[in-house]
Amino acid sequence: LRKKSKENFKSFTAQSSSIWHNPRVAWEDMAYALAGVDDITSKYGRLKYADERSFHRQLVKWTRWRIEQLCLEREWDTEPVLRHHPIFLKRLAELAVHEATASELCRRCKGKGWISTGYTMIDCFSCLGSGVLKKTEKFRARFVGISRQKWQETWKDRFRREILGIFDVFEYDIQRALRKRL
């Protein structure tokens, strides 16, 4: 296969088990599915599932634009944080793209989701049995450059519902395109 070819996939391990029923999707099926969705959704899928880092900057830029649209629609643009921190939206977009596309395995259970006690298997306390290390609200607030209290009061729910919801639409479009293929 050519190095820059869209078909340059080996196999994909889905990171979101709630959407995907088959944990491995053949690269031919995924390439077909990504060819049938819009450009930004295809870039998201290629970044998330094939780790094509060349699409990271474009996805962050598009996400920032979408967050700006949400700010205008929901009247968040009156927030002092948005007026006084020029890089806040960029950092918020970077955080959202990272959380939506990166899979960080839990260090304690090494991604298994459980720990052996010698007698039985128990769910990992660090990742709550998911195998993926969760980001703390303190980390998120520090990453975007605001206080933890301001993050908790104003941006925590917005980030989870509205901003990460952008990527749920991408996942849905990819799933729908895969269903057409399979």
Classify 78 as helix, strand or coil.
helix
Average model confidence (pLDDT) across the chain: 81
Asked if the model's pLDDT at residue 22 lies above 50, the reply is: no
In which band, very low, low, confident or very high, does the pLDDT at 83 lie, cut at 50, 70 and 90? low
Q: Residue range 35-43: average pLDDT? A: 91
Summarised one tens digit per residue, pLDDT across range 126-165 is 787 878 777 789 989 999 988 899 899 989 999 999 999 9
In which band, very low, low, confident or very high, does the pLDDT at 23 lie, cut at 50, 70 and 90? low
User: Residue 176 and residue 103: Cα distance in Å, rounded?
Assistant: 22
User: Residue 146 and residue 6: Cα distance in Å, rounded?
Assistant: 39
Summarised one tens digit per residue, pLDDT across range 53-75 is 899 999 999 999 999 888 888 88
Length of the chain: 182
DSSP-assigned letter for residue 132: B
